Every structure is written in structure tokens, then in C-alpha cells.
Structure 1
Amino acid sequence: MGFISFVGRVLFASIFLLSAYQEFSEFGTDGGPAAKALKPKFNLFMQQVSKSLGMAVPHIDIKTVIAATMFLKGFGGLLFIISSSFGAFLLLLYLAFITPVVYDFYNYEMESSQFVQLFVKFSQG
């Protein structure tokens, strides 16, 4: 049973490890395609956080965000493979941070097609 558990952890962590490797190989000087895709959503998320808190939040460079997500996915995935609960925590931290940024359906009216598309993707993911 231990071997099956190990294979399951490897298969689950491979999703995060391969994603981190792809972002790392495409990172370049500007953060790569991940930065270009995430930047508008991240800026909108930071505006929402600032509005909710009632004060300005410090500026965070998108390259730093991409580097942090690569670290969380890579290191968390490796630790998860060796059955570390800290690795599972790092993967949960990554998901808790990135999910509201990527699936920003809360920025649209419920009747709009963008809301429906993002909410369906969020519900399926």
C-alpha cells in the first residue's frame, strides 16, 4: 500500500513540478508568458485588496510573484513527494493565493458572459 501512496503523491506533485519547470524555462528577463497573462489580473486583484482594506498596498513586481509561485510549486511538490505535510501546506498556500487572482469572476456582474465563463472554470478546477 505504501508504494501506491508514493505513486499517487508523485503523480499529483508532477502537475505542480512540471508547471514550475515550464515557468522557469520560459522566465527570461520579463517573467515570460506567465507574467504577461497574470499581470492584468494581478493588478486588478491588488486594486480590489486596496479598496477592501481602505489603504494602499505596496507595489509588488509581477516577476517576483511568478518567482514566488515557481518556488511554492517546485519546493512544495518535492516535499509532497517525500510525504511532508509542509509540502502540502506550500501547495495549499500557492492555490489559496493564485485562485482568486486567476478566477476573478467576482469582478464581473452575474449576468455577464465573462462571469459565467470564469465561474464555470473555477467550479470545474
Structure 2
Amino acid sequence: CYLQIKVLVAAAVAFKGVGGILFIFGSTIGAYLLALQQVIVTPILYDFYNYDTEKKEFGLLFSKFSQNLALLGALLFFIGMKNSIPRRQLKKKAPKTKTV
């Protein structure tokens, strides 16, 4: 059981690391990896729904959950912007005719 948790944590760290490095260089693949990591990890780590609203833990967990939800929204915005910008197409230059 301990080994499985260790492998899961290592995979999550590697996933976030690779996604972060790719995202720094402007890759949408990196943004997709980070978004997927946010979708999987956020509800597990910040389980505010298991606490009463009057408890202190509820406020702290809900705050962190909301922050991660905002980060997910920013990643989705980045992905949307990258996909909406038309890519430059290489135009073949027409050969110039020489006039004498």
C-alpha cells in the first residue's frame, strides 16, 4: 500500500513538472497536462465537501479549492487563446521577373 502511494505521488510530481516545463515554453500540451492534473488532484486534496460549513477546515479547504479552480480557468483560457490565434502559413514568394 505504501509503495502504491509513493508511486502515485511520484507520478503526480512528474506530471506537474513536465507539464510546467512545457507550459513555460508556450506549449498547449503542457497546458493540457496541467489542466488534467488540476482536474484530478484538486477535488482529492481539497475535500471541503466533507466538512460542516461552520468548521475552520471548511473555509481553508474551500479557499484552496477555489484558487485551484481559478488556475484551471486560466489554463483553459490559455488553451483557448492558443487555439484561436491563426498559425502563420509559409507563403511561397512569387519569383520576380527581371526587367531589362
What TM-score do the two structures reach when normalised by structure 2? 0.56
Asked if residue 66 in structure 1 is aligned to residue 9 in structure 2, the reply is yes
Question: Larger Cα Rg: Structure 1 or Structure 2?
Answer: 2
1:109 to 43, 46, 52: 52
Cα separation, 1, equivalents of 2:64 and 2:8: 22
1:89 to 21, 32, 40: 32
In structure 1, the partner of 2:21 is 78
Identity %: 49
Number of aligned positions between the proteins: 67
Cα separation, 2, equivalents of 1:116 and 1:81: 32
Deviation at 1:113, TM superposition (A): 2.2
Q: Render the CA deviation track for 1:33-69: whole Å, top value 9, x for unaligned.
A: xxxxxxxxxxxxxxxxxxxxxxxxxxxx211211111
Distance 1:95 1:124, change over 3 A: closer
Cα separation, 1, equivalents of 2:30 and 2:67: 24
What residue ranges of structure 1 are gaps of 5+ in the alignment?
1-29, 32-60
Deviation at 1:105, TM superposition (A): 0.4
What TM-score do the two structures reach when normalised by structure 1? 0.46
What residue ranges of structure 2 are gaps of 5+ in the alignment?
69-100
Cα separation, 2, equivalents of 1:82 and 1:124: 23
Distance 1:64 1:105, change over 3 A: same
Task: Give the aligned CA root-mean-square deviation in angstroms.
Answer: 2.0
SS in 2 for 1:116: helix
Q: Per chain length, whose mean CA-contact separation is higher, i.e. which structure has more relative contact order (CA < 8 Å, sep 6+)?
A: 1
Give 1 or 2: higher helix fraction: 1
